[in-house]
Amino acid sequence: MKKIAITGHTRGIGKALVHRLETSGNNNLFSIKGFSQSTGYNLQRVSTVKKVVQECLDWEADVLVNNAYVPDNQVRLLYSMYEQWVDKPKLIINMGAISSDSISNFAQMGYNKDWTPYVSDKARLDWASLQLSNQFKPGMCRVTMIKPGMVDTDSTEWLKGISNIDDIMMTADSVAEMIEWVITLEENTQMRNLSFDVGNFNG
Ligand SMILES: NC(=O)c1ccc[n+]([C@@H]2O[C@H](COP(=O)([O-])OP(=O)(O)OC[C@H]3O[C@@H](n4cnc5c(N)ncnc54)[C@H](OP(=O)(O)O)[C@@H]3O)[C@@H](O)[C@H]2O)c1
């Protein structure tokens, strides 16, 4: 049975992933452990990042889905887990955002107090993930970056009514399906980078 640790498992994409892994045809192949703020793991604290890594080691997790967006600490969790797993056939899946694929376009945009730090954090996560995935050899830890476009979750509620948003929203389950697919790849195959969307904002 593959042990899957998931941050941000109580809502949105993380919750859809838990549901999918528990109910899809593969359901008795997975055992799941979640780490979210409302279940006592506030990943804004560096001490919680260390605690999550230690619990993944103690539980002997096979996969970490580094899903919850936490400024700075999503990258910190990636590095901290990778340092422990580097020479083991483990898998770290990072949830990025498609916006980091066009970071130079975003660099031209005006400052927005929420959006600008988010996009630059995701770009940093993207580069960290790419660099670690580049180290991969058989038997080592695989690192995957998944970058969806707009997904219909609590975090995009504020966009409702803007532009063509309803046409370009994916469901959380469609993203969970991609994550499940990466989890089920053979251990000798590393998916480095997976960007996908169903369209962009009307210009
Ligand atoms: N939605 C999109 O359009 C979209 C697009 C591209 C990428 N993404 C990325 O996908 C990931 C999931 O997004 P989502 O839209 O599914 O989010 P969401 O619906 O807002 O859910 C956020 C999840 O993260 C947990 N969380 C938030 N802050 C936390 C903290 N400080 N410590 C621990 N857990 C925390 C929440 O836990 P509690 O419920 O316990 O608070 C919740 O389970 C994020 O990395 C996001 O950047 C989302």
Q: pLDDT tens, 62-105?
A: 999 999 999 999 999 999 999 999 999 999 999 999 988 888 87
| pTM of structure | 0.97
Tokens of 51: 């605690």
Pocket test for ligand 1, best of 38, 55, 129, 153 (most atoms within 8 A of CB): 153
CA distance 5 to 60: 10
Tokens of 50: 């260390």
CA distance 193 to 185: 14
Q: Which domains does the chain have, with CATH numbers?
A: 2-196 (3.40.50.720)
Average pLDDT over residues 123-143: 97
Residue 106: the pLDDT is 78
Sign of CA pseudo-dihedral 64, 70, 75, 79: negative
Pocket test for ligand 1, best of 36, 74, 178 (most atoms within 8 A of CB): 36
Evaluate if residue 203 carries a pLDDT over 60: no
Average pLDDT over residues 159-173: 89
User: For the ranges 21-30, 79-88, 153-162, which has the lowest average pLDDT?
Assistant: 21-30
Average pLDDT over residues 163-188: 94
CA nearest ligand 1 atom 46, residue: 69
Q: What is the mean pLDDT of the chain?
A: 94
Could you give the 3-state DSSP secondary structure of residue 155? helix
Rounded distance from Cα 12 to ligand 1 centre (Å): 7
Q: Give the closest residue to 132 by CA, choosing from 176, 72, 91.
A: 91
